[in-house]
Every structure is written in C-alpha cells, then in structure tokens.
C-alpha cells in the first residue's frame, strides 16, 4: 500500500508493505489530491497532484528525465545543471520507492552530491510504484513429475515483459506459489508468455527443481524428453554435456541474463555500461539489432558465445540454493526462481569435526580452505557445501550448513503475510547478560542513529520468562537479544524460556547473540519470524560482542542479514560460529544510497585504491545498475559484486566517504567513524 503524507515542508511517499519511505521537500506545506495513474507513461501504483514549483531531494538518487515518448533527455547526476525548454517531461527517480514526476512546461535541474533540485511550473503530478511483488495466485500439483513440470512452467507468467528489460528486477514479478495437492490445478488467470523456447528434460523431480529458475527467466515450458536440452525455435542445444546438467543450466541462465543487461542499453536506459564496454570487443554481436529481436533470437545469439568469454563479466550471483529434489521441496521453487537462484541438488555432504573447525577459521580469515573431507562422520549434524561464487548459499535440507543460510520454507510464507506498521521501525534490544553490556550500549546508540527514519528503540534488561515471552509475542522489526541460551531455552532471571513454547511471534528479524541459539532461532521462524542470525556452538563473550556490534551497525545501514553476517564474521575468531536461519535477504531498514555498498580501501603509498562492493537487497536485486559517485567516473556497473577500482588522493577519499553512508574496510579491517 502506497501513501502520500503531507509534511510541514514537502511530501513523504510511504510504501507500507516494504517499510520504505522517501521525502520530496518543497519548502512549503502541500495538499496532495488524488490523480489518475494512467496519466504517466510508465506504470505507477498510485499518484497525486500537488501545487508546488520545486522539489528538493536532500538524499539524492539516480534520476532520468524523459520526453513524452519515453526517450531519455537527460541523466541526472552530481554536476547536472540544465534548463530544459517547455514540454511534457517525466522525471524518473530510483528512490527507495520508485517515483515519477510529470511536468508540463519548462524544467530546471540542479544537482550536486548532497542536493538535487527540480524547478517547474505548477501543478506537478507525483506517481509511485512499489518494489514489492506478491504472488498473483497459487498452483497446486501432485507429486507426479509431469504435473510438477506443468506447475513450474507457470512461473514465467509473472514476467512483466520478455524484452531485455526483464533483466531489471522491477520487471520480474514474483512467480505464483506452488503447493502439493491431489490433482494439478492451474488458475485460469496464469498465462505464460509465448517465447518459442522450451526445455526438454527427463520427467524427474530433480530435473524440474534444477530447471525452475531458467524456465522462469526464459519463459520456457518444461516438457518431458529423453535428454536434457534447450529448444529455441526448433533448434536444440544440449544441456547434458560437460560440465554436467546442473552447471549447464546455470551457465545458460547467466549467459542469457548478462546479454539482456548489455542489450537493454539500446532501450530506455542508454547509459555507459562498463560490462558492455568490456564484452563488446570480445564478441561479434550487433546490440542494437538484438534489442529489437525476439527473445528466441537473442537467446540463439547468446548461446553462440562461449560461456568462458562472458563469465568474467557476469555480476556476482545472488544465490545458490541447495535443494533436495523431493515433493516437499517444490514449494520453495517460486522463491528461489524469483531471486534467479542457481539450484544444486547433490553438492553437499556431512562435515567432520575438523571441517567445522576449518570453516570457523576460514570465516575469520576471509578465505575457504579444504577440510578433512575423508574424516566425515555420518552422524554429524553439520553439512559442508561445495564452493560457489555467490553472495549467499542456502541449504534446504536436514542438518546445520557451514558458511551458509539454513533455509526454512515457512520463512518465505511468513514474509508474504507480514503486516508492516509504516509509522515506525520498531527495534527491541534485550540484554539478559551483565557481562555483555558493551554490546547493549552500542546497539542502543547505533539503532535509530539515522535521523531521517522513524525509529522506535526499546531497551529491556534482565527479563523474566514472562516478560521475554511477551516480547517475543509482540511485533518488532528487529529483536536484538544479548544473553545466554542453554538446552532448555533463553536464560532469564527466573528460569528459561523455550521458543518452541511460543505459539506465534510478531518479530520480523532477529539477532540472537547467545551460545547455541540455533534451535531457538529455528523455533522463532516456525512461529512466524522471517529470518535471523544465530550461533551453532559456544561463543566467547568478548568475541560475541565484537560480532554483535558490527552486525548492529550493518543492519542499521540497511544491509540484509546474510551480507551483514559475511562482513561481521571477520571481526572475531568466533564469527564462523554464526549463521542465518530463514530468509537471508531480510533487512530491517532501507539503504541510504539505494544499494548496500562496502567501500573497500587499500593504501597505495600516498594514495588509496578504492573499490565499491555492492550487495543485493529487496529493491536492488541482481541486474540493478550502480553508479558510484567517485572521482571522475561516468560509467554504470552491474550489481551485485565488486565494481571498478579507483585511485584517489586523501582529500578525494574524504570527499567520497563524506557523501556516502557506506561502511569502510581499510586494508582488510572494518573501520567506523564513531567509537566502538
């Protein structure tokens, strides 16, 4: 639900479902009146008309000015100062809520790194579109693989286009849900696009599970066949050769996606894309012709390019999902496909005690090393996953994964049912351990430090079991728990509380900074939470404090759980004892700069080498473009992943850091501008 809230000096646009907001300052009070969303060329969910001649954006975002046909007239970035003649203009703003301004008349744009100003003749139309996507329907399937094929083939009905622009996350809708039943039932309103592409596979659950994300993105029907192959307008491309079926599906998805990202620069967003510049010299492709080609024609062109040529330029993939191909697992496929996750079915094994210790050390040292694989024990509760070049690995199966998220299907359904209070961001900090008050003090100071967001931070100390039960039952965007957990549950001043005895929780995300909090975290997800950070073993208090305070800072900046934990784990030797349970993409607040970004700084004599590293988020999924305002850069980059490295002087570095709210890792160590 979108709303336009008048302020004393401007207008605040609020997305209640996603918990996002953005302010358009006008230096005067406004009275928004409802307007017809169809007056905008691009789709908006809601619109208003206001009488004002100026909007000031104190949190500048990337913007584009378009003419009445939708063609780009101007890209707005720091340093833009332009007077445009009288005409009909659409100003597109990539804010935490997607915004459009419709202006009829002359338009003046004046932008710096700290302020963006638009001046125009009143009135102005303001349109907004939520980044939230909700499944349109539910498909029911039996356990018969042929019925599962039919169910998976409906996932692409959520695509809003089959043009190259589908590589933008806002044009990939959430696939319909899939549930098990006694017969195949596909709602009439679900219509997959006609693309001329199909995927022929042996009729097995494994084949359907692995191919689901590719089917979704390509709009390809799954049909039974003798050998796995991709058929494009009658031309067959084998998916069975080296390096194997699963890797071939992965490579096909990444190739098709990357080419769409390169070709779309011929359309509405004609920007200087770094990856296109790098690839263009290595391939013989006519990007302009491919933009107007059909999906099948573009796919044929993609498959003619060796994967090795394109691989260095593919953005860092957001997700590798390890899924056991069982009838129960079919329900998670829409969520994995929505993230364009790569699916693997057999790349895991039980981990030995030596491997557990090795994984913990690797998390601290920031590397992965081979463990004592031959010493694996059948009764080990831990699972070792294969290497994957992805932001997140998630394990949907029995056991505790090392260096990965424990996926719990209930978490994703909990997120769909979440009821958000747009009035405030509610954070509860509970400290039930006097020796960890340092973490409590940091959490109390950090949460709510972003003045432009409506935080409501509650601090509780030394809770009883009844008090903690009430906290768990109440609503909160984040619960940060500091204390102890034993086999019986959370340790309180009058006993212990087992989260399995809590029927339901209103907690959205949580950080349980206590020894062996894994089981309690899983219970909270099963009771209604979406995701959280837990530990699978004992952690030393001093190390737990370092990890906890770093997580608090990163979550407060808008980093999702999994990305925040990846960075925080290196702060202490105990960091490898932590993992995410539920949905690792959960965040607590919106990101100030649109994309969660780490500023990686390496000292180079009297200068510094600066590499922005981007991470995926709800509104900045794979395919988003990043435009780092650093040095003389004029190029866009695909996110997530490392962008280019820029060499800056000390004054230039200070200027860059002062204009961004990003965390900084200097010479391998996270540093902060406030005392720990």
Q: What is the pLDDT of residue 371?
A: 36
- Write down which residue in 338, 363, 388 finishes a domain: 338
Q: Are residues 492 and 423 in the same domain?
A: yes
Residue 370 has pLDDT above 80, yes or no: no
pTM over 0.85, yes/no: yes
Looking at the chain, the whole-number percentage of residues with pLDDT higher than 90 is 72
Tokens of 135: 């499944």
Split at pLDDT 50, 70, 90, the class of 438 is low
pLDDT tens for 257-273 read 999 999 999 998 899 99
Q: Are residues 151 and 69 in the same domain?
A: no
Our count of domains for the chain comes to 4
Query: Smallest Cα–Cα separation from 42: which of 79, 7, 94, 6?
Result: 94
Split at pLDDT 50, 70, 90, the class of 511 is very high
CATH of the domain at 475: 3.40.50.1460
**362 in a domain, yes or no?**
no
Backbone angles phi and psi of 598, in degrees to 5: -100, 130
Coil/strand/helix, residue 403: coil
Looking at the chain, the whole-number percentage of residues with pLDDT higher than 70 is 93
**209 in a domain, yes or no?**
yes
Q: Are residues 240 and 98 in the same domain?
A: no
pLDDT tens for 610-659 read 999 999 998 899 999 999 988 788 899 999 999 999 999 999 999 888 87
**120 in a domain, yes or no?**
yes
Question: Please, is 628 exposed, middle or buried when counting C-beta atoms within 10 Å of its C-beta (0-12, 13-18, 19+)?
Answer: buried
Q: What single-letter DSSP state applies at residue 593?
A: T
Q: What single-letter DSSP state applies at residue 576?
A: G
Q: Determine contact, residues 486/496, Cβ cutoff 8 Å.
A: yes
pLDDT tens for 390-418 read 999 999 999 999 899 999 999 999 999 88
Q: Are residues 45 and 179 in the same domain?
A: no
Q: What single-letter DSSP state applies at residue 304?
A: T
**450 in a domain, yes or no?**
yes
Q: Are residues 609 and 481 in the same domain?
A: no
Provide the residue range defining the domain that includes 661. 597-671
Q: Are residues 332 and 202 in the same domain?
A: yes
**644 in a domain, yes or no?**
yes
The answer to whether the Cα torsion of 404, 570, 573, 352 is positive or negative is positive
- Write down which residue in 547, 582, 617 finishes a domain: 582
Split at pLDDT 50, 70, 90, the class of 367 is very low
The answer to whether the Cα torsion of 190, 193, 196, 197 is positive or negative is negative
Q: Determine contact, residues 287/308, Cβ cutoff 8 Å.
A: no
Rounded to the nearest integer, the mean pLDDT of the chain is 91
Q: Determine contact, residues 634/277, Cβ cutoff 8 Å.
A: no
Backbone angles phi and psi of 276, in degrees to 5: -65, -40
Q: What is the pLDDT of residue 376?
A: 46
Residue 314 has pLDDT above 60, yes or no: yes
Tokens of 120: 């125009």
Q: Are residues 72 and 183 in the same domain?
A: no
Q: Are residues 328 and 298 in the same domain?
A: yes
Give the helix ranges, DSSP H, for 447-540.
465-473, 518-526
Q: What is the pLDDT of residue 338?
A: 97
**377 in a domain, yes or no?**
no
Q: What mean pLDDT comes out for the span 61-73?
A: 92
Q: Are residues 575 and 602 in the same domain?
A: no
Q: Determine contact, residues 232/226, Cβ cutoff 8 Å.
A: no
**455 in a domain, yes or no?**
yes
74-78, 218-222, 352-356, 515-519: least confident range: 352-356
**328 in a domain, yes or no?**
yes
- Write down which residue in 552, 582, 612 finishes a domain: 582
Q: What mean pLDDT comes out for the span 235-240?
A: 95
Q: Are residues 153 and 93 in the same domain?
A: no
Q: What mean pLDDT comes out for the span 290-312?
A: 95
Q: Determine contact, residues 344/319, Cβ cutoff 8 Å.
A: no
Q: Are residues 142 and 125 in the same domain?
A: no
Coil/strand/helix, residue 343: strand
Q: Are residues 328 and 260 in the same domain?
A: yes
pLDDT tens for 151-176 read 999 999 999 999 999 999 989 999 99
Residue 557 has pLDDT above 50, yes or no: yes
CA distances from 247 to 356, 541, 577 (A): 27, 42, 30
Q: What mean pLDDT comes out for the span 101-105?
A: 96
CA 406 – CA 582 distance, rounded (Å): 6
User: 541-556 vs 561-568: helix axis angle to the nearest 10?
Assistant: 140
Q: Determine contact, residues 639/335, Cβ cutoff 8 Å.
A: no
């Amino acid at each position: 639900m979108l709303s336009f809230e008048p302020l004393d000096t401007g207008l605040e646009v609020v997305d209640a479902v996603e918990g996002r907001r953005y302010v358009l300052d006008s230096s005067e009070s406004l009275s928004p009146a409802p307007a017809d969303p169809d007056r905008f060329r691009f789709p908006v969910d809601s619109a208003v008309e206001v009488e004002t001649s100026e909007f000031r954006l104190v949190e500048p975002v990337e913007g584009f000015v378009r003419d009445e046909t939708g063609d780009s007239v101007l890209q707005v970035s720091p340093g833009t100062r332009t007077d445009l003649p009288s005409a009909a203009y659409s100003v597109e703003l990539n804010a935490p809520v997607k915004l459009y301004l419709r202006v009829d008349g002359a338009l003046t744009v004046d932008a710096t790194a700290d302020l963006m100003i638009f001046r125009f003749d009143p009135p102005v139309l303001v349109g907004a579109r939520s980044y939230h996507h909700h499944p349109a329907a539910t498909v029911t399937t039996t356990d018969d693989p042929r019925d599962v094929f039919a169910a998976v083939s409906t996932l692409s009905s959520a695509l809003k286009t089959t043009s190259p622009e589908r590589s933008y996350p806002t044009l990939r809708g959430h696939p319909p849900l899939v549930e098990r039943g006694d017969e195949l039932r596909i709602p009439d309103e679900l219509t997959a696009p006609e693309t001329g592409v199909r995927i022929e596979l042996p009729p097995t659950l494994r084949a359907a599970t692995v191919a689901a994300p590719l089917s979704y993105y390509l709009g390809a029907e799954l049909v039974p066949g003798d050998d796995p192959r991709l058929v494009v307008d009658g031309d067959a491309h084998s998916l069975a050769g080296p390096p194997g079926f699963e890797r071939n599906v992965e490579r096909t998805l990444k190739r098709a996606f990357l080419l769409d990202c390169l070709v779309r620069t011929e359309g509405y967003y004609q920007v200087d894309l770094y990856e296109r510049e790098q690839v263009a010299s290595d391939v013989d492709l006519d990007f302009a012709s491919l933009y107007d080609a059909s999906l099948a024609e573009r796919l044929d062109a993609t498959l003619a390019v060796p994967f090795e040529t394109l691989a260095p330029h593919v953005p860092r993939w957001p997700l590798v999902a390890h899924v056991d191909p069982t009838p129960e697992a079919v329900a998670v496929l829409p969520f994995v496909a929505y993230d364009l996750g790569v699916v693997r079915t057999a790349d895991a094994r039980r981990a030995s005690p030596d491997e557990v210790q090795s994984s913990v050390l690797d998390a601290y040292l920031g590397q992965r090393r081979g463990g004592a694989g031959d010493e694996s024990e059948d009764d080990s509760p831990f699972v070792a996953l294969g290497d994957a070049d992805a932001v997140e690995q998630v394990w949907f199966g029995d056991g505790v994964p090392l260096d990965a998220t424990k996926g719990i299907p209930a978490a994703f359904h909990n997120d769909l049912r979440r009821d958000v209070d747009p009035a405030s961001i509610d954070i509860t900090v509970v400290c039930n351990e006097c020796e960890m008050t340092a973490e409590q003090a940091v959490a109390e100071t950090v949460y709510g430090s972003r003045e432009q967001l409506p935080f409501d931070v509650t601090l509780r100390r030394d809770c009883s079991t009844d008090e903690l039960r009430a906290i768990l039952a109440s609503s909160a965007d984040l619960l940060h728990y500091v204390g102890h957990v034993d086999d019986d549950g959370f340790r309180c001043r009058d006993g212990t509380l087992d989260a399995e005895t809590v029927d339901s929780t209103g907690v959205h995300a949580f950080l349980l900074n206590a020894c062996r909090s894994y089981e309690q975290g899983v219970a909270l997800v099963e009771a209604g939470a979406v995701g959280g950070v837990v530990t699978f073993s004992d952690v030393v208090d001093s190390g737990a404090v370092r990890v906890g305070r770093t997580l608090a800072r990163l979550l407060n900046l808008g980093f999702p759980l999994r990305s925040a934990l990846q960075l925080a784990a290196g702060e202490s030797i105990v960091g490898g004892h932590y993992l995410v349970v539920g949905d690792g993409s959960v965040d607590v607040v919106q990101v100030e700069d649109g994309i969660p970004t780490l500023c990686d700084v390496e000292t180079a004599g009297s200068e510094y080498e600066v590499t922005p590293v981007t991470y995926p988020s709800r509104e900045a999924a794979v395919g988003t473009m990043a435009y780092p305002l650093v040095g003389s850069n004029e190029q866009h980059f695909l996110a997530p992943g490392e962008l280019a490295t820029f060499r800056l002087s000390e004054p230039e570095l200070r200027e860059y850091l002062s204009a961004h709210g990003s965390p900084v890792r200097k010479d391998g160590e996270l540093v902060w501008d406030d005392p720990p």
